Amino acid sequence: MRRRFSISDYLPVPAARILTVAIILVVWEITGRMADPLFFAPPSRCLTAAAEIFGDPKLQWALWLTLVELVTGFALSVVFGVLIGTAIGARATSYRSFFPIVMFLYAIPQVTVLPLFVLYFGPGAASKIAFGFSHGIFPVIITVVGALRGLDQTLLRSAYSMGASRMQVFRRITLPFIVPALFTGMRLGMTATLLGVLIGELYVSSGGIGMFTRLYTDSLRPDRLFALTAVLALMAIVINETLRRAETNVSHWRNA
Amino acid sequence: MSTIAASPGPMLAGSSGEEPARDNSRRIQLAFLIGFLLVWWLVTALALINPFFLPSPQAVARVFFRLVTTGEILPDLKITTGQIAVSFPIALLSGLAVGYAVSSSRYSVEVFEPMLAGLFAIPLIIFYPLNVLILGIGPESKIAHGAIYGFFPIVLSAIQGFGSVDRAYLRSAHSLGASRFQVLRRVLLPAALPSIMAGVRMGFVLTFVATIGSETIASLGGLGHRIVWYAESLETDKMFAYIVFIIIIAVVSNAVLSWIERRSDWR
């Protein structure tokens, strides 16, 4: 084949990514300086705004509160997700009778019932935890059930025939088998919980970060809003990457 | 593919009824729905819960039929569907175009695919306040938000779909003298269609949910707006009627798209 000039010969992949981000930042900076400062802000102005707002103890408290809501909702999702998922996935009959119900509930767009959560749990942290939990529990249940269904029955049968007790089978076969899937479920559950908590925060908030996004929008401070959004995005990326690493490590351990 | 699995939302729902016999799981879902309605009716009939918090199913059904038959629901339905009618085509076309461009070489897939997947792992709802500040509280911000949400599953599935087409097909088409467009039209699109359709369905579901969600958070009209409106005025029977209406739209459109997705799968 004819050899053409190719950018890939000169630019390794990470450098190309950094270059892409740099180009976006430059374009953003240029358009940001030309746009109306009441509605748009260049990255340079967002940086100074970030320094301003993150010194504010009220905002620090709001971020902390959001993190607490996230962790609580996530912990509840994992605990109840594993319990329910194990109960459903352990036997073929319970799988056949209850799993369709889980999928039925999962297909409902949950954001429609968000006002109900606020009606029942109030505008404080409880409604965000509950809404995050209602998002996070489904991926956990579904992955645990999926893993249990995929469990090789001959493994179980041979273990039982060699005289293993129920506890031994659970400890030595079932648990190691579902752990990698559980990590996948936990990562997906974390993403979902974060989504639920943030939707709840943005809808109505008494003291969480939703209060500040509304404040910066209403007071026409795009620089502050960009800065806060960037930090939230960074938080999501860090959480996601951490769990993804953990997941990869665990599945390596299983494949080894 | 893990990036697709990482996406939030109800996209798993359509495709996994197969393993337990399909009819059987439908019957169980129906039984569950009936049981749920029975419990709901019982709880309200025995006045265990303040009707402000939970109106009776009969009251909700009455309001629901009135909304639909008198056309009271139409103005909000028009606003919501009007927004989706703009945002989803934007998501679809830009997703396919960017997906096609990125999938053109192994190198650009390596550079851009993880960046797009990483962005999609962020709960995109956090960008909604920026949309509102920049584009205003009207339909523009919902269109932008819906399009952003729909874009990601479509672009990721397009990269995957176009990228996994057997290179031998492309080489033989080129060597037979096909133009770039002919290759796209006759080889790439048909070969990649099944995996792209999965992304398109996800994209539509997410655009729909994101539109309702953004109307819930800040808006002047639309179905999501009306739910909040009635929640705040404690007219919960009307609120429930709107919720039921949205759930019906979601279930029906998901069923239609799953059907198209299965039909497009020639493998």
Write out pLDDT tens, residues B111-149.
Answer: 999 999 989 989 999 999 999 999 999 999 999 999 999
Query: Would you say residue B154 has pLDDT above 80?
Result: yes
**Alpha-carbon distance A170 to nearest alpha carbon in chain B (angstroms):** 25
Query: Would you say residue B210 has pLDDT above 90?
Result: yes
**Alpha-carbon distance A144 to nearest alpha carbon in chain B (angstroms):** 14
Close Cβ partners of B81 (under 8 Å, ≥ 6 residues apart): none
Cβ separation B17–A103 shorter than 8 A: yes
* pLDDT of res. B2: 35
**Alpha-carbon distance B206 to nearest alpha carbon in chain A (angstroms):** 9
One-letter amino acid at B157 equals S
Any idea where the domains of chain B sit in the sequence? Answer: 21-54, 64-264
Which chain B residue shows the shortest CA-CA distance from A6? B107
pLDDT band at B28 (very low <50, low <70, confident <90, very high): confident
* pLDDT of res. B9: 42
**Alpha-carbon distance A136 to nearest alpha carbon in chain B (angstroms):** 10
Cβ separation A96–B25 shorter than 8 A: yes
Cβ separation A217–B129 shorter than 8 A: yes
> Taking a C-beta distance cutoff of 8 angstroms, is the pair A158, A152 a contact?
no
Write out pLDDT tens, residues A104-146.
Answer: 888 888 999 999 999 899 889 999 999 999 999 999 999 999 9
Using the Cβ of B14 and the Cβ atoms of chain A, whether some distance falls under 8 Å is answered with yes
* pLDDT of res. A153: 79
Write out pLDDT tens, residues B156-175.
Answer: 999 999 988 888 888 888 88
* pLDDT of res. A254: 59
- Which residues in chain B are contacts of A96 at CB distance < 8 A? 20, 24-25, 28
- Which residues in chain A are contacts of B26 at CB distance < 8 A? 100
For B152-178, b where at least 16 C-beta lie within 10 A, e where not — what string? bbbbbbbbbbbbebeeeebeebeeeeb
pTM score, whole prediction: 0.86
Nearest-angstrom CA–CA distance, A83 and B151: 35
Model ipTM value: 0.86
Write out pLDDT tens, residues B212-250.
Answer: 999 999 999 999 999 999 998 989 999 999 999 999 998
Cβ separation A198–B105 shorter than 8 A: no
Cβ separation B110–A236 shorter than 8 A: no
Query: Would you say residue A210 has pLDDT above 70?
Result: yes
The percentage of residues in chain A with a pLDDT greater than 70, rounded to a whole number, is 96
pLDDT band at B15 (very low <50, low <70, confident <90, very high): very low
Using the Cβ of B48 and the Cβ atoms of chain A, whether some distance falls under 8 Å is answered with no
* pLDDT of res. B18: 46
The percentage of residues in chain B with a pLDDT greater than 90, rounded to a whole number, is 58
**Alpha-carbon distance A163 to nearest alpha carbon in chain B (angstroms):** 31
Average pLDDT of chain B, as a whole number: 87
Query: Would you say residue A179 has pLDDT above 90?
Result: no
* pLDDT of res. B123: 92
Using CA atoms, how far residue B10 sits from A32, A122, B264, in Å, is: 37, 26, 21
Nearest-angstrom CA–CA distance, B211 and B145: 7
Query: Would you say residue B3 has pLDDT above 60?
Result: no
Q: What is the 3-state secondary structure (H, E, C) of chain A?
A: CCCCCCHHHCCCHHHHHHHHHHHHHHHHHHHHHHCCCCCCCCHHHHHHHHHHHHCCHHHHHHHHHHHHHHHHHHHHHHHHHHHHHHHHHCCHHHHHHHHHHHHHHHCCCHHHHHHHHHHHHCCCHHHHHHHHHHHHHHHHHHHHHHHHHHCCHHHHHHHHHCCCCHHHHHHHHHHHHHHHHHHHHHHHHHHHHHHHHHHHHHHCCCCCHHHHHHHHHHCCCHHHHHHHHHHHHHHHHHHHHHHHHHHHHHHHHHHC
pLDDT band at A96 (very low <50, low <70, confident <90, very high): confident
Residues 223-252 of B with CB under 8 A from A: 224, 227-228, 231-232, 236, 239, 242-243, 246-247, 250-251
Polymer length of chain B:
267
Close Cβ partners of B85 (under 8 Å, ≥ 6 residues apart): none
Residue A4 in tokens: 């053409």
The CATH number of B64-264, from 3.40.50.1860, 1.10.3720.10, 1.10.630.10, 1.25.40.10, is 1.10.3720.10
Query: Would you say residue B5 has pLDDT above 80?
Result: no
Query: Would you say residue A251 has pLDDT above 80?
Result: no
Write out pLDDT tens, residues A15-60.
Answer: 999 999 999 999 999 999 998 888 899 999 999 999 989 889 999 9
**Of the partner residues A7, A115, A237, the one whose CB lies closest to the CB of residue B227:** A115
Which chain A residue shows the shortest CA-CA distance from B30? A101
Average pLDDT of chain A, as a whole number: 88
One-letter amino acid at A191 equals T
The percentage of residues in chain B with a pLDDT greater than 70, rounded to a whole number, is 91
Cβ separation B29–A104 shorter than 8 A: yes
Query: Would you say residue A5 has pLDDT above 70?
Result: no
Cβ separation A17–B111 shorter than 8 A: yes
Nearest-angstrom CA–CA distance, B233 and A50: 38
Using the Cβ of B25 and the Cβ atoms of chain A, whether some distance falls under 8 Å is answered with yes
Cβ separation B125–A198 shorter than 8 A: yes
Cβ separation A225–B115 shorter than 8 A: no
pLDDT band at A200 (very low <50, low <70, confident <90, very high): very high
Over range B179-208, report the average pLDDT: 89
Residues 142-201 of B with CB under 8 A from A: none
